[in-house]
Amino acid sequence: MGHIYIKDIQFAAESKIEDGILYVSEEAVKAVALEDEKIKSVSFDIAKPGESVRITPVKDVIEPRVKVEGRGGIFPGVIAKVDTVGEGKTYALKGMAVVTAGKIVGFQEGIIDMTGPGADYTPFSKTLNLVMVCEPVDGIKQHDYEKAVRFAGFRVAVYLGELARELTPDETKVYETCTIKEGMEKYPNLPRVAYVQMLQSQGLLHDTYVYGVDAKKIVPTIMSPTEVMDGAIVSGNCVSACDKNPTYVHLNNPVVHDMFEQHGKTFNFVCHIITNENVYLADKQRSSDWTAKLCKMLDLDGVIVSQEGFGNPDTDLIMNCKKIEAEGVKTVIITDEYAGRDGKSQSLADSDPAADAVVTGGNANQVIILPKLDKVIGTLDYVTKIAGASEETLREDGSLEVELQVLTGATNETGFNKLSAR
């Protein structure tokens, strides 16, 4: 991974990266976004850390990347042709992101505040954000609008990533991926540990895509942890802002990166196992059975399991934990909590004595006051309708009284914010 650090974003006549500054041609990125006829119009704006800016409703956040060596391209099966990725050399524009926003798709979309108390709860208050506000054509169905905006964001991110193809990275990091046999031979005395990632796949705008395939249609499978760094997994869901993993999070999955930091030192990072979160009991049973089976077949000593979403997926989380533990594999689960505004409610919809090692992302029901900011990118028209808000959210002085779940990444269960173990 080659990191190219972006220090500023500016609009210019020509798109280029020079001396750490990303110059963006509005005309060029608009043309890229409007390649889909379902998008009627698009406007671009820039939001920088510390500015009195609020972005809403946020749909996805994407980090621009370009694959310069190796098989495949960025976002295989979505933008690039289907090919197995995760090896070779990839460059990423660090310190910035493409943020998609616009007319609301579903009630579970979020807010990014670039300053104030809300900024403390979202990692995207710390990135330079190129925000694209998309307006759909009249009469479009919600799922078609969501897809159109999602793909437009990916196209713009790939366009910007291509600007770095001939650059020299500011920093290079190398990630080692071994075969099962190689890992056992190289690290014979280290515990064998894997990452089990639960992907949101409940449908009705609650989707995640793996190589372009809806995760509802997959069975648990094994991946190289580096595949996500090339965009093998992308977001397509509109669950509560604090619960969904934007594509940026998949690209920079902190569980993967933290496990690589310990690989070859405290444990052997064997593989990345992905599973889904479906709504029918039979699907939950099948996926958790397969996940536990894979953990046993790989002769793992331990796994870390992360959840996306809440409520219904809590059942999948506990099923996975209980069944993996029953195979003799030690399990740590990463989740968020919905413990009520007073923190006294049951924080998960399901539980089991086997879930005795938990990392919490915090209570999403915690109430916070977001002060009025000078500028809104997008619209506040739907701010009382998004999950975590109410009819009383918009106060007379322009401030917002909301639950933390409205902030994109607020209690992100994959670890961007400080987590506490219990």
Catalytic residues: 238
Cα(179)–Cα(173) distance, integer angstroms: 20
| Total residues found in the chain within this entry | 422
Cα(67)–Cα(165) distance, integer angstroms: 8
Q: Which of 24, 95, 405 is nearest to 248 (CA)?
A: 95
Q: Which of 300, 308, 306, 299 is nearest to 332 (CA)?
A: 306
For helices 281-297 and 312-326, angle between their N-to-C axes, nearest 10 degrees: 30
CA 255-88-197 angle, to 5 degrees, is: 25
- Work out whether the CA dihedral 192, 196, 173, 232 comes out positive or negative: positive
235, β-bridge pairs: 208
Q: Which of 152, 22, 38 is nearest to 99 (CA)?
A: 152
Cα(132)–Cα(216) distance, integer angstroms: 29
CB atoms within 10 A of CB 82: 12
**CA-to-CA dists, residue 100 to 46, 94, 105, 246, angstroms:** 12, 18, 12, 11
- Find how far residue 7's CA is from the centre of its chain: 23
